[in-house]
Amino acid sequence: SDVLVENFKVGGLAKYGLGYDDLRKLNPGLVYCSITGFGQSGPLAPQAGYDFLVQAMGGLMSVTGARDGEPGAGPQKVGVAVTDLLTG
């Protein structure tokens, strides 16, 4: 079998005629792996899984930066795209 791995937002490749339903007509044995930030269905499925968004939602931004009450305090992103590094 041929294998296709993609990480576009849900439906991202379908608009170019490269979605699973399109490609399986050409190759019924195709193994199609779609990796998204929030899955294929559900209320967050259409969102992109950007590193900064995952840092914020996971609480990582709450433990970085200046202390509360100091100038510039509040949630801040980590200096490197740590979520991208840890998840591949």
Tell the residue number behind the tokens 């899955």, with chain if given: 39
Q: Where are the alpha helices (DSSP H) in the chain?
A: 20-26, 51-58, 82-87
The identity of residue 33, as a single letter, is C
- DSSP type of residue 17: T
Q: Which of the residues 2, 21, 22, 84 is marked catalytic? A: 84
Residues 32, 81, 11, CA angle at the centre, nearest 5°? 30
Nearest-angstrom CA–CA distance, 11 and 49? 14
Note if 84 is an active site residue. Answer: yes
Please list the active-site residues. 84
